[in-house]
Structure 1
Amino acid sequence: MVEYDVIIIGAGSIGVPTALNMAKAGLKTLVVDSLPSVAQADNKQAIGGIRATHYHKGKIWLCQRSLEIFSNWKEKYGVDIWFNRGGYTFLAFTEDNEKLLKDTVKLQKSYGLNINYVDAEKIKEIIPGINNDGLLGGTYSPEDGNASPLLALHSFYRLSKDLSVDYHFNEKVINILTKKNRVIGIRSKKGKYKSKFVINAAGAHAKDIGNMVGVHTPVEPESHEAGITEPVKKFFSTMVVDISPNIDLKFGDSKNYYFYQNKEGNILFCLTPNPNILGTDRRETSSFLPQISKRMVQLLPRLRNIKIRRTWRGLYPMTPDGNPIIGKVNEIEGYINAIGMCGQGFMLGPGLGELLSRLLTDKINSKDREILETFYYNRDFGKEEELK
């Protein structure tokens, strides 16, 4: 039986940057995935937004580090992952949303984030051509940005391979092997592998992996659709987020939607349906495009004649409070959670990968401890994340 220091289940937004950091820390690492190659589950469904401007300090800290990694990647490794510091803009069309955003900004600024609540005139400068009818203002965080999930993850993957990480694709894990309440390895359909650490980074299927060792976590897959337009001349950079709910009796209600223009000029967009759609169905629906195109064109009329290339559907591994589940568990020594990213795995991945490498090499700091305590699997899930 081949022996590794750590085995990671899942070769996606969390598993690959975690493997890279394990290798940097000198740990012999194996990544196992049931799909044919890297990033074939929900990483390739992500549209690429990266922000540190969250409500929860744990996510703020992790994403601050992720932003540093993404923004320096080209300079450090010579690989263009299309990182663009275009910022995020959350819009307020109601007094309730204005109050929510202003209160959130106070909290975010207390953690040193570069974010401000700005008036409608400033929003018009940031988003040229916006329909400002009823617009009260919004938040603007210029240091947030976006990158290509495809280019970024494949760059992480190639670098990790250079550092001798092993990847086994088309190989489904069927059991986590334990002895006296301690992880000793895994069994797949192709063989057994020995390890004292197993990291669950299985995304939408994380609950099934946890059940193998009797660790029951409240992670449920929820489907979201996205799309991309043809490339057009660049006319805005920020991620536009409209948090206003919308009632649509014909095509279905929605909670919010968001979009940005990437380096090549394509506009990528996504919408949160209301109610949420639970389950693992990845088939595109006939309602998504009418839902979101109506809202986007109403907000930014110059989008009207831009052609849409395609749409797709991916899964968010959701937790009850909208925050991830990270770290060790009481029941099984050596089993590590890195799950429940709630659709934010791409932006959390690089920072989280570093934290997990420190956890396994006994080098965690006080900030790491606070993150691990707040994202502990046995926490109270009653308080829901704002603006998740």
Structure 2
Amino acid sequence: MKNYDVIIVGAGSVGLPLAHRLAVKGVSVGVIDELPSPGQGQNKAAIGGIRATHSDRAKIQIGIASLEFIRRLEPEFGQDVDYVEGGYLFPTYDDKTAQGLQSLLPIQKSYGLNIDWIGPEEVREIVPGIRVEGLLGGTFSPEDGHLSSLKLAGAFYRLARQAGAEFHFETKVTGFELSGGKVTRVLTDQGKFGCSVVVNAAGGYGREIGLMVGADLPVYPDSHEAGVTEPIQPLFNPMLVDIVPDEQSDNYYFYQAKEGGIVFCITPRPKRMGTDRRSTSEFLPMVIPRMLNLYPRLRNIRVRRVWRGLYPMTPDGVPIVGFDRDVEGFFHAVGMCGQGLMLGPGLAEFAAAAIVDGQDFEIFADLSPYRDFSGEELLK
């Protein structure tokens, strides 16, 4: 039986950076994943946006920490993940949305986010070709950006292994052994693994893992579709996010990747609950008219491929992070609400300090598995 200080369940957007940060702190780390290689779950489906632009203080602070670490990846660790610091732009064409976005600015700025309202002329300068009729302006956070989710997963996997973390793929968790209320072993279809701490970083399947120790976490995945076009000449740098809903969908967003393709995604209405990841015929007719309405220059570009991934949602749109109160040594890091890629690197810093050093952080109260879930994060 292999023994570790910490076992992480899930080699994805949260598990990979956490494995690295824990191993750097000198603890022995084992990562278990039922898929054949790292980042093959929901990380693989992420479109690559990474931002600190949220309306919740915990997510803002975690997002800032993520961006700070991403900026270090190439100069300090030699890991190129196609990161482009193009910013996030939320353009608006109606007074209600403009007032809503502006009302968030004092909160966002108070927690260190570099963001401001810009007028229509500046929006047009940043995104030449955007629809100008009725444009009121938008909020712009220039330090946000985008990257390759596959390259990011590979980078954290290499860094984690270099730091001493060990990975067990094609290994399915079947249960846990407890002794005196403390987790001592992880049971899998490939045998047992001894440990002192378990981290539940199972993404869309985080609730199932939690139930194995009696923790019924409110994490319910729904599916979103995304796509990418053929590469074209550079048009704009920021991620464009339209949060105004229509009858079929809520927000949609798109950006131009480093290699030239336009990467896009939409939130369908009503939500498509469950774990079905098969592509549908409704996606492109839903998203393309909205994209063309905002940015007509995309009209004749060909779509190269589409795919579908899961958003492990919580009732308030905020992740669930913290130690289980009934099982000693069991740490939850789930319910990223489709934002695991952008939150994972920063969350790893906080979680590693909590697990190894016993540090407590103010944001953990906001992320607690036992909080009141009645609120709602407005930019989830």
Q: So what's the TM-score if we normalise by structure 1? A: 0.96
Cα distance between partner residues in 2 of 1:240 and 1:43 = 21
Q: What RMSD over aligned residues (CA atoms) do the two structures have, in Å?
A: 0.9
**Contact 2:22–2:356 under 8 Å retained in 1:** no
| Equivalent residue number for residue 121 of structure 2 | 121
| Equivalent residue number for residue 140 of structure 1 | 140
The alignment of Structure 1 onto Structure 2 pairs a total of residues equal to: 380
One-letter amino acid matched to 2:148: S
For residues 91-141 of structure 1, the C-alpha deviation after alignment (integer angstroms, 9 at most, x for no partner) is: 222211111100011211112221111111111111110112222111011
Cα distance between partner residues in 2 of 1:333 and 1:185 = 12
SS of match in other structure, 1:85: coil
- More divergent stretch after superposition (119-128 vs 220-229): 119-128
- More divergent stretch after superposition (327-336 vs 127-136): 127-136
Residue pairs, 1:1-388, within 5 angstroms: 1-247=1-247, 253-364=248-359, 368-388=360-380
For residues 3-22 of structure 1, the C-alpha deviation after alignment (integer angstroms, 9 at most, x for no partner) is: 10000000000001000011
Cα distance between partner residues in 2 of 1:85 and 1:6 = 34
User: Structure 1: 5+ residue runs without aligned partners?
Assistant: 248-252
Cα distance between partner residues in 1 of 2:329 and 2:273 = 31
SS of match in other structure, 1:178: strand
One-letter amino acid matched to 1:101: L
For residues 119-165 of structure 1, the C-alpha deviation after alignment (integer angstroms, 9 at most, x for no partner) is: 11111111110112222111011011111111111011011111221
One-letter amino acid matched to 2:353: R
Cα distance between partner residues in 2 of 1:16 and 1:113 = 26
One-letter amino acid matched to 1:181: G
**Contact 1:48–1:346 under 8 Å retained in 2:** yes
Cα distance between partner residues in 1 of 2:106 and 2:132 = 25
- More divergent stretch after superposition (319-328 vs 105-114): 105-114
For residues 60-83 of structure 1, the C-alpha deviation after alignment (integer angstroms, 9 at most, x for no partner) is: 111101101111211011221111
SS of match in other structure, 1:20: helix
SS of match in other structure, 1:317: strand
For residues 283-328 of structure 1, the C-alpha deviation after alignment (integer angstroms, 9 at most, x for no partner) is: 0010100111111111111101111100000000000000000010
**Contact 1:129–1:301 under 8 Å retained in 2:** yes
- More divergent stretch after superposition (162-171 vs 330-339): 162-171
SS of match in other structure, 2:11: coil
Cα distance between partner residues in 2 of 1:134 and 1:93 = 5
| Equivalent residue number for residue 250 of structure 1 | none
SS of match in other structure, 1:161: helix
User: In percent, how many aligned pairs have the same letter?
Assistant: 49
- More divergent stretch after superposition (32-41 vs 132-141): 132-141
- More divergent stretch after superposition (6-15 vs 178-187): 178-187
* 1:362 shift after superposition: 2.1
* 1:50 shift after superposition: 0.8
One-letter amino acid matched to 1:291: M
* 1:177 shift after superposition: 1.4
SS of match in other structure, 1:236: coil
Cα distance between partner residues in 2 of 1:53 and 1:189 = 41
**Contact 1:198–1:334 under 8 Å retained in 2:** yes
* 1:369 shift after superposition: 1.7
One-letter amino acid matched to 1:23: A
Cα distance between partner residues in 1 of 2:358 and 2:71 = 25
One-letter amino acid matched to 2:208: D
One-letter amino acid matched to 2:88: Y
